[in-house]
Chains A and B, each alone.
Chain A
Amino acid sequence: MNLKAKIWWLAGGLLSVYIAATCFVTVNEHEYAVITQFGRPVKTITEAGLAVKLPNPVQAVTPLEKRVQMLRLEPSEYSTRDRRNIVVDNYVVWRIVDPVVFLTSTRTTEIAQQRLNTITNSQVGAMLASYPLDSILNVDSEQNQLDKLFQQVSERVDKVSRQELGIEVLAVRAVKFGYSPRNLKAIYDRMSSEWERLSKQYRAQGHEEAEKIRARTEQEIAELKSTAYRDSQIIKGNSEARAAELYSQAFESHQEFFEFVRTMEAYKAVLDNNSRLVLPSDSDLFEQLVNPKLDVKDES
């Protein structure tokens, strides 16, 4: 064997090893392998592990993501049925379920995401426009349709994207659902004025209650005092009556004498240090002073 033949054998050997190697495909757990024959998909391998195909360049393999992925959408403003503007920030959880459809319709993930974005936005917009705001945001859990609304959106987007893109949409949800920041000040004002009203109401209740208590107190005090006045008057009356009775008993027996004594006492009581008496000099009282009868007849 000459050198030339050796080289040929070596080249041939390497080539066949290479071709044999391209017959085997490693499929990861998190991906699909789509096998294309001259660019046309002929087989999809969904099970992970080692797979066999015809060697390159007859058949080529395109791996596709099998895992669930998340797509964040741009927040945007929608209008509800009662024409209230609402800012919604959505995300879509999706995965490829039909690799062939996916590959033939979009080829790349970027295009798929753009398409998904468009479908979702239009569905969200349509769905929001069919609900009035107070049946989306509501304290009553029967009336609150936010969860249901997004489940419906998910179903609809899923239906379209399965057919069109070979994509299953697991969930469309909102991480923001509320008023536009433009309205923020108005909402703050409303909230704080409600609270102020409530505070005032509490205070007014306090004042009212306190006034009631004060009025009751005043009334009770007045009652107490008047009762006491009445009782003390009764006591006084009783004692006066008793005194009068005592006097009258005494009077009955010596009326004239009592009158005299009491008159004398009354004089004593009335005439004190500051009294000034003007008396006629010829009164009986001073007869002895002015005109004394000194002619004492000695009896002896």
Chain B
Amino acid sequence: MSWWQDVSRVYRQLFHRLRWLVVVLALMLYGVSGFYSVDADQRAVVSRFGRIVEQNVMPGMHYRLPWPVESVETLSAVELRSINIDFAKELDSALTGSELTTGKGDLIELALQVQYSIPSPGKFLSVAMDAETILRNTAKAQAVIYVSQRELDSLLTTGRSDFQQWMQQAIQQELDSFGPGITVTNVMLNRLETPAVIKQAYDEVQMAPAAREKLIQDALGERETKLAQARSEVNNTLKQAQAQAQAQVANTEGEVQRLNTLIVSLERQPGLAKKRLYLETLKQILEKARVSFINRDKP
């Protein structure tokens, strides 16, 4: 029994001296448990007995009253969040078809990304139960409305940036009706195209104006070649005609000149000249031609 008495005596003496220290230590530990830190990409919300007292606590070291008075909830990536919506990959697309319907009853495939930030984490946590799902469905519903008012062609060609801007505003407006603390910063269309099954036919239409243009350009090119050819042909004909005409005139002039000269020299004895000419001609002819004689009975 003696060792037990010893222990209890030492304990009593020790406790008597240290009890205040223990109490102070416990209180200090309790107090220190109120410190918390918020990372660089996080924001925190502090509630006191369930009521939010700090909507948006910035990164760093902070203090709150310890449990059960105050509690902290942290949210990550409040500045740059995004959700991807691909209508083709939504759960019930097998049942309903994945395409959106345009104002003219055509079908179009769409995938988009909504980028948003959470300027007010307190509201984000307390106003809507699953704000992201709500955002997701709101974006889908607004896309359905926009597409239903447009034509396929304008959507696919010029309408993209309009679509994105309109979407951003429309989603924001829709969310603002109950204020879940979300700011839609950007909407991007990742895919906006005709259904894959009939894409080829559509691509052909896109190429058709170019094909038309090619036919016209070919004809124009052909025209230029033909015209150039014709012009040079015509030019040749005229040149030839002129050359022939000049030659004819010159020849004639020469001939006339020659004859005149001949005449002047022989004018004094025309009979003799004639005879000489005749014999020269005869000679030339008979040199070349074959000659046969026939005897004619004399009468």
Contact = CB atoms under 8 A, between A and B. Distances in A.
Q: Is the interface of B mostly helix, strand, loop or mixed?
A: helix
B27 to A, nearest CB: 20
A299 interface: no
B96 A178 contact: yes
A137 B105 contact: yes
Interface in B68-103: 68, 90, 92, 95-97, 99-103
Interface residues of A, number: 110
Contacts of B90: 175
Contacts of A49: 48-51
B42 interface: no
Which of B130, B270, B288, B293 is most buried by chain A, counting CB atoms within 10 A of its CB? B293
A101 to B, nearest CB: 20
B134 A68 contact: yes
Interface in A148-185: 150, 170-171, 173-181, 184
Interface stretch (A11-19, A34-42, A123-131, A268-276): A268-276
A191 B137 contact: no
A239 B253 contact: no
Given A67-B129, A70-B130, A243-B249, A231 B241 contact: yes
A137 B103 contact: yes
Contacts of A271: 285, 288-289
B6 interface: no
A271 B126 CA distance: 127
A276 B290 contact: yes
Contacts of B92: 75, 89, 176
Interface stretch (A2-10, A113-121, A278-286): A278-286
B38 interface: no
Given A281-B296, A282-B295, A184 B97 contact: yes
Contact of A188 (B48, B102, B130, B198): B198
Contact of B144 (A30, A48, A175): A175
B240 A225 contact: no
A174 B126 contact: no
Given A48-B50, A279-B291, A250 B204 contact: no
Nearest to A218: B226
A92 to B, nearest CB: 10
Interface in B22-48: 47-48
A108 interface: no
Given A68-B129, A205-B212, A239 B148 contact: no
Nearest to B273: A257
A178 B222 contact: no
Interface string A214-251: 10110011001101110111011011101100110110
A232 B289 contact: no
Interface stretch (B7-15, B111-119, B174-182): B174-182
B150 interface: yes
Interface of A: 26-31, 47-50, 65-70, 72, 75, 87, 89, 91, 93, 95, 136-141, 144, 146-147, 150, 170-171, 173-181, 184, 187-188, 191-192, 195-196, 198-199, 201-203, 205-207, 209-211, 213-214, 216-217, 220-221, 224-225, 227-229, 231-233, 235-236, 238-240, 242-243, 246-247, 249-250, 253-254, 257-258, 260-261, 264-265, 267-268, 271-273, 275-282, 285-286
12 contacts: A31-B50, A87-B95, A146-B144, A199-B207, A207-B215, A217-B226, A243-B252, A268-B281, A268-B285, A275-B285, A276-B290, A281-B295
Given A187-B105, A279-B292, 12 more contacts: A75-B96, A93-B134, A147-B145, A188-B107, A206-B216, A220-B230, A224-B231, A232-B241, A236-B244, A254-B263, A280-B294, A282-B295
